[in-house]
């Protein structure tokens, strides 16, 4: 039975979470209706506006706006044009405006992926950020045996570091929060540095045996100008005194730098979203395909790979889950990320289904 209404997590104008009711979106061409079991909060992208509203002391709640872009559940119905899925399939879903914090979601078929039998809904809810991390790492082009630096040990940085290990690299993580460094070491990073409390340059030199890092991934939001200056100092140094290596800049990071000779021979690479396909509406709905022979890695093939790694125990997202709360407690979850970021990592929201 296709429901007519759904409950959705939203953010109001004061920066607080709430739950609202709205009609279930129409099941149009290329779309899949999913009974959501769990969703995951992305504390950077999703909560920036809420953080600003609280900081500014706004008091007008206005009209709450639904948010979220990653969840997992069971297929309830598909449009007649969809042949890839059928009711009862367990799926991970992604996409802004689609895979929200809601008990039902209507998602384009190419933004859905079947869950392996041994991957839970709560693990599957990490899919969007997992492949954001994967794409950021691809942009850095890791090579077996290289030294990797991950700056910013939130969810994206944590998973990028794990994937760099899978690629055969030696990985150090940087963050200002000791809790995040502790999580990184538990999940397999070779070393970490608490920025501001430890000598980052000295530790980097010792870790890389004096060679400097081959590549870095900078995975945090806000102004990264000073961070880029610090990262540049620990990259490879050529005999002619030029810094070398690749630096992948992820998501909402902003930075100013002197280009050209000011960067030596460093290669700055922007990383946007999850790989080819995302935000191409015809591709998302299956109206067009990218031939694999020309484009091996798309958002869809990234989803399959990330879920395969979870299934094989190579990508441990359970260890990144610090909070598990019902959707009704969404404001508790939002407040935890804003007020106690030094104790909060991944927050899974569990949907209110009784069956």
Summarize pLDDT for 104-143 with one digit per residue, the tens: 999 999 999 999 999 999 999 999 999 999 999 999 999 9
**Structural domain boundaries in the chain:** 5-126+276-350, 130-271
pLDDT in tens, 207-218: 999 999 999 999
Q: Which CATH superfamily is domain 5-126+276-350 in?
A: Medium-chain alcohol dehydrogenases, catalytic domain (3.90.180.10)
Taking residues 139-163, report their average pLDDT.
Answer: 97
Nearest Cα to 153, choosing from 301, 329, 322? 322
Q: How far is the C-alpha of 172 from the C-alpha of 191, rounded, in Å?
A: 5
Q: Cα separation of 71 and 57, whole Å?
A: 31
DSSP code for 102: B
**Would the pLDDT of 100 be above 90?**
yes
153 pLDDT more than 90: yes
Checking if the pLDDT of 354 tops 90, the result is no
State how far the Cα of 8 lies from the Cα of 14, in Å rounded to an integer: 18
Three-state SS at 15: coil
Q: What are the backbone angles phi and psi of residue 26, rounded to the nearest 5°?
A: -65, 140
Contact 287, 310 (CB under 8 A): no
* pLDDT, position 105: 98
Q: What's the CATH architecture for 130-271?
A: 3-Layer(aba) Sandwich (3.40)
Pair 79, 28: CB distance under 8 Å: yes
Q: How far apart, in whole angstroms, are the C-alpha atoms of residue 275 and residue 201?
A: 33
Q: Given pLDDT bands bounded at 50, 70 and 90, which one contains residue 257?
A: confident
SS3 content of the chain, % helix, strand, coil (to 5): 30, 30, 40
The mean pLDDT value for 255-279 works out to 88
pLDDT at 168: 98
pLDDT digits (tens, 9 = 90+) for 283-328: 999 999 998 888 889 999 999 999 999 999 999 999 999 999 999 9
Q: Is the pLDDT of residue 256 over 90?
A: no
292 and 270 Cβ atoms separated by less than 8 Å: no
Q: Which pLDDT belongs to residue 19?
A: 97
Q: Three-class SS of residue 303?
A: helix
Q: Does 261 score more than 80 pLDDT?
A: no
Query: Rounded to whole angstroms, how far apart are CA atoms 233 and 145?
Result: 21
Give helix 155-166 / helix 178-186 axis angle, nearest 10°.
Answer: 30
pLDDT score recorded for residue 298: 95
- Euclidean distance between CA atoms 102 and 6, whole angstroms: 7
pLDDT in tens, 13-26: 999 999 999 999 99
Query: Residues for the chain: how many in total?
Result: 355
Q: Phi first, then psi: what are they for 246, rounded to 5°?
A: -110, 140
> Does the pLDDT of residue 179 top 80, yes or no?
yes
pLDDT band at 263 (very low <50, low <70, confident <90, very high): confident
Task: DSSP for 174-205, please give it.
Answer: EES-HHHHHHHHHTT-SEEEEBTTB-HHHHHH
DSSP alpha helix (H) spans, the chain: 48-56, 121-124, 127-140, 155-166, 178-186, 200-207, 225-232, 281-284, 299-311, 330-339
* Residue 343's pLDDT band (cuts 50, 70, 90): very high
User: Residue 260: what pLDDT?
Assistant: 78
Say yes or no to pLDDT of 227 above 90: yes
pLDDT at position 106 is 98
| pLDDT bracket for residue 251 (50, 70, 90) | confident
> Which two three-digit tokens encode residue 194?
């608490």
Is 130-271 the same fold as 5-126+276-350? no
Contact criterion met (CB below 8 Å) for 104 and 37: no
* pLDDT for res 353: 85
Residues 26-77 have pLDDT tens digits of: 999 999 999 999 999 999 889 999 999 999 999 999 999 999 999 999 999 9
State the pLDDT at residue 264.
Answer: 86
- Mean pLDDT lowest among 60-64, 69-73, 219-223, 228-232: 219-223
């Amino acid at each position: 039975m296709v429901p007519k209404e759904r409950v959705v997590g939203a953010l109001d104008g004061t920066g607080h979470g709430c739950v609202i009711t709205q009609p279930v979106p129409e099941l149009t061409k290329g779309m899949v209706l999913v009974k959501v079991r769990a969703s995951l909060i992305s504390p950077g992208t999703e909560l920036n506006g809420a953080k600003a509203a609280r900081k500014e002391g706004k008091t007008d709640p206005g009209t709450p706006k639904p948010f979220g872009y990653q969840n997992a559940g069971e297929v309830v119905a598909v449009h007649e044009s969809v042949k890839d899925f059928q009711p009862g399939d367990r799926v991970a879903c992604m996409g802004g405006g689609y895979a929200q914090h809601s008990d039902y979601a209507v998602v384009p078929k190419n933004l859905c992926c079947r869950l392996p039998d041994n991957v839970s809904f709560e693990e599957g809810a990490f899919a969007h950020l997992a492949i954001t991390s994967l794409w950021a790492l691809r942009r850095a082009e890791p090579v077996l045996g290289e030294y990797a630096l991950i700056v910013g040990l939130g969810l994206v940085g944590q998973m990028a570091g794990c994937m760099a290990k899978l690629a055969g690299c030696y990985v150090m993580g940087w963050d200002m929060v000791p809790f995040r460094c502790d999580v990184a070491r538990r999940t397999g990073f070779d070393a970490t540095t608490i920025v501001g409390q430890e000598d980052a340059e000295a530790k980097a030199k010792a870790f890389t045996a004096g060679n400097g890092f081959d590549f870095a991934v900078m995975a945090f939001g806000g102004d990264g100008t000073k961070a880029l200056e610090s990262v540049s100092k620990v990259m490879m140094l050529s005999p002619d005194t030029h810094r070398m290596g690749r630096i992948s800049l992820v998501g909402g990071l902003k930075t100013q730098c002197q280009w050209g000779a000011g960067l030596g021979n460093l290669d700055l690479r922007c990383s946007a979203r999850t790989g080819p396909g995302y935000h191409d509406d015809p591709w998302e709905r299956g109206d067009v395909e990218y031939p694999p022979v020309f484009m091996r890695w798309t958002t869809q093939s990234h989803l399959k790979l990330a879920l395969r790694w979870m299934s094989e125990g190579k990508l441990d997202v359970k260890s990144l889950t610090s909070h598990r709360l019902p959707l009704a407690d969404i404001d508790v979850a939002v407040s935890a990320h804003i007020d106690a970021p030094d104790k909060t990592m991944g927050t899974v929201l569990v949907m209110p289904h009784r069956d």
